[in-house]
Amino acid sequence: MAKTIFQKIIDREIPAKIEHEDEQCIVLHDIQPQAPVHLLIIPKRPLARLSEATAADQALLGHLLLTGQALARKLNLGAGFRLVVNNGPHGGESVPHLHVHLLAGRQLVWPPG
């Protein structure tokens, strides 16, 4: 299976603006931001999409959400933020490597799409 752009960034084959990194994930600034703050929280272990996760992925999925919370606190996003996971073509998935979008810095509307 070919490496995704996210795996190439994790492997340092492609540069990116990294906001955070730990043993389980890397957090990048989105190159096409949809809000003043738009970060991508990406697990280092490849997992194509949320619908392919299993009970064995529970700790990793929780880590991604808690990383989003910690970054929101670090970036003073007390007015609000949104965490989004796209799944499949109709869900807006553009890269088949699970990632969580952290969006903030403006009033976000509902419904989103």
Question: Could you tell me what percent of the chain has a pLDDT over 90?
Answer: 95
Distance CA 45, CA 47 (A): 6
Please compute Rg for the chain using Cα positions: 14
Give the catalytic positions in this structure. 99
Q: What CATH topology corresponds to 5-104?
A: HIT family, subunit A (3.30.428)
The pTM of this model reads 0.95
Residue type, position 49, single letter: R
- How confident is the model at residue 40, as a pLDDT? 98
Residue where the block lists tokens 């949809």: 34
- Tally of CB atoms within 10 A around 81: 20
Side-chain half-sphere CA neighbours of 112 within 13 A: 12
| Mean pLDDT confidence for 91-104 | 96
- How confident is the model at residue 31, as a pLDDT? 95
Please give the structure tokens belonging to residue 97. 């490597």
**pLDDT (tens digit per residue) in 58-97:** 999 999 999 999 999 999 999 999 999 999 999 999 999 9
